[in-house]
Structure 1
């Protein structure tokens, strides 16, 4: 039985990752393939052209965003979206989400924190997502920051306003901390050492 479970423990996560990867590739191929068929006769279409076109378009968009005029066009469309109820909320949330997690490697030691749960004598790990809270002066807090607490094996989480004096920074790479939390501590056996007990210096 143990041998069977060991094999299952390898096959299931590998199969899930492959399934998600294949789904992404097939979706990209089908979408951009349909676009290509508008201008290219079907007999000349080769499987994989849609995927190649998708990758090239994403790369090209990223390259064009380095130019001032393209940035202005993007800002113009984002201004239009901001005026659309519900659409602006969804667009902004998705954009902010991807921006935050796409920059994990650049945020290794400055956002992972522990927050004490006094009554339980416990600590919970979270991520500082916002420090600039001038518009929330009404909170009547001393130097508040927003800390995001990811739920294990879930997409969602919670964001709380917490005074800086109540958080402790820990020496863990953000992506490692996220993986640790997402799997309820099961995915990693690394030893994480807490930094010296100190608060963030302004």
Structure 2
């Protein structure tokens, strides 16, 4: 009976990550495919699997092309400014815009460097991600050499942003932000894959 329980847990550990990854992938693909389902049905009189996904991907590429040209870029700038002025929507839109920029944006706008933040006393270090080198909007901290470090929490989505003195961190150039997030998410558990 003890062996049966151990095999069950082992089976869960092996199969659950695979099943959840496949489930999430299928869910995203189906959601994207469904965005143009009404248009596909109007044009062809039936749902054609995959066509909505192609239309969604094509629309995203088209918006990227339009947003890269000087003439059409001004429209997207105007739309961004409009969203930033509407009460309530401004905070929601700003948060989503920054989160998307962090996740899929370029390195300058996302997590830059993995760092260790020294804790007081003998508590050791906390792993974090450097997000800002300068904090000009925080006039209270003028004259203090502080930087912004995001510290993810284990076993959940979320974390804290600490404003720490530059001399309280140690950079970890051998670790990527993705490896650091994975490490923090599972509380340091795992196989200790080689970094760098």
Same fold (TM over 0.5): yes
Question: 2:147: which partner in 1?
Answer: 145
Verify: 1:31 aligned to 2:47, yes or no.
no
Cα drift, residue 70 of structure 1: 2.4
- Structure 2 CA distance for aligned equivalents of residues 187 and 92 of structure 1: 35
2:74 maps to which of 62, 72, 75:
72
Verify: 1:115 aligned to 2:121, yes or no.
no
Q: Deviations over 1:53-87 (max 9, x none)?
A: 11111122222222112221111011111111221
Contact 1:104 1:174 in 2 (8 A): no
How many residue pairs align between the two structures? 191
Question: 1:196: which partner in 2?
Answer: none
Question: 1:184: which partner in 2?
Answer: 187
Verify: 1:160 aligned to 2:162, yes or no.
yes
Question: 2:25: which partner in 1?
Answer: 21
Question: 1:84: which partner in 2?
Answer: 86
- Structure 1 CA distance for aligned equivalents of residues 86 and 153 of structure 2: 31
Verify: 1:5 aligned to 2:9, yes or no.
yes
Cα drift, residue 107 of structure 1: 9.2
> Equivalent residue of 2:37, what SS?
helix
> Equivalent residue of 1:119, what SS?
coil
- Structure 1 CA distance for aligned equivalents of residues 32 and 153 of structure 2: 30
Q: What TM-score, normalized by structure 1, do the two folds share? A: 0.83
Give 5+ residue unaligned stretches, structure 2.
Answer: none
- Structure 2 CA distance for aligned equivalents of residues 139 and 105 of structure 1: 26
Cα drift, residue 123 of structure 1: 0.4
Give 5+ residue unaligned stretches, structure 1.
Answer: 194-202
Contact 1:29 1:54 in 2 (8 A): yes
- Structure 2 CA distance for aligned equivalents of residues 65 and 104 of structure 1: 16
- Structure 1 CA distance for aligned equivalents of residues 113 and 123 of structure 2: 22
Q: What TM-score, normalized by structure 2, do the two folds share? A: 0.86
CA RMSD, Structure 1 to Structure 2 (Å): 2.5
Q: Deviations over 1:166-195 (max 9, x none)?
A: 1111121111111111121224413569xx
> Equivalent residue of 2:36, what SS?
helix
State the structure with bigger RCO (CA 8 A, min sep 6), 1 or 2. Answer: 1
